[in-house]
C-alpha cells in the first residue's frame, strides 16, 4: 500500500509550510494531489462562507459601537457611588452581626480551666498514680486479712 501524506503533512502543505520531502511526494502522487486540492477548495469555501455569514449592515456596526461605548463610559461617579453604597452595606451588616451575635459565656471556660487545675492538683497530691490504685487497694485488703488472721 502506498504511503500517503499524513494529516500533519497535509496541514503543512495547506499552510504553505511543507518540507521538501512532502513537496516531492505531492508532486509525484496524484491521489495526494487530488486530496490536497479538494481540501484547499473546501477550506477556501469555508472561509468565504464564514465571512458571508458575518456580514452586517453599517447600522448594525454603529449600534454595536454605541453599545460598547455606553458600556465603558457610563456615569463613573454613579458607578463609584453604587460601589461605595454596596461596600458600606457590607460593613454595616458585618458590624450588626458582630453586635447581635450571642457572646460565649466567659465563666464556662473559666469553670473548665478551674476544674482542670483542681484535677491536676489532686493528681499531684496522690501518692500513687491513678493506674496503680486498684493494686494498692488489693494490697491493703491482703494486709488487713493477714492482721485479722494473726489476731483472732
Judged by the rule CB under 8 A, the positions of this chain that interact with other proteins are: 1-2, 4-8, 10-12, 14-15, 17, 29, 31-32, 34-35, 39, 42-54, 56, 61, 64-65, 67-69, 71-72
Cβ nearer to other proteins, comparing 52 with 100: 52
Q: How far is the CB of 37 from other proteins (least distance, A)?
A: 12
Please, are residues 6 and 29 in contact by the beta-carbon 8 Å criterion?
no
Q: What are phi and psi of 123, to 5 degrees?
A: -60, -40
CB of 67 or CB of 101, closer to other proteins = 67
The nearest distance, CB 57 to other proteins, in angstroms, is 12
| CB of 88 vs other proteins, minimal distance in Å | 24
Q: Which is nearer to other proteins, 54 or 148 (CB)?
A: 54
Residues 6+ apart with CB under 8 A from 26: 5, 13, 18, 32, 33, 36
Smallest separation, CB 70 to other proteins (Å): 9
Please state whether 149 falls in left (phi above 0), alpha (psi between -120 and 50) or beta: alpha
Choose between 23 and 122: whose C-beta lies nearer to other proteins: 23
The DSSP line for 71-137 is HHSS-HHHHHHHHHHHHHHHHHHHHHHHHHSPPPPHHHHHHHHHHHHHHHHHHHH-SS-GGGHHHHH
Amino acid at each position: 500500500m502506498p504511503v500517503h501524506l499524513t494529516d500533519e503533512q497535509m496541514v503543512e502543505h495547506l499552510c504553505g509550510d511543507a518540507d521538501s520531502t512532502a513537496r516531492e511526494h505531492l508532486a509525484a502522487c496524484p491521489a495526494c494531489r487530488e486530496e490536497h486540492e479538494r481540501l484547499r477548495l473546501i477550506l477556501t469555501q469555508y472561509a468565504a462562507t464564514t465571512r458571508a455569514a458575518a456580514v452586517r449592515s453599517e447600522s448594525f456596526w454603529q449600534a454595536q459601537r454605541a453599545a460598547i461605548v455606553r458600556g465603558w463610559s457610563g456615569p463613573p461617579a454613579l458607578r463609584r457611588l453604587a460601589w461605595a453604597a454596596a461596600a458600606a452595606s457590607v460593613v454595616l451588616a458585618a458590624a450588626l452581626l458582630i453586635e447581635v451575635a450571642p457572646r460565649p459565656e466567659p465563666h464556662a471556660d473559666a469553670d473548665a480551666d478551674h476544674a482542670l487545675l483542681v484535677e491536676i492538683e489532686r493528681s499531684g497530691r496522690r501518692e500513687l498514680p491513678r493506674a496503680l490504685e486498684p493494686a494498692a487497694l488489693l494490697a491493703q485488703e491482703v494486709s488487713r486479712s493477714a492482721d485479722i488472721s494473726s489476731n483472732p
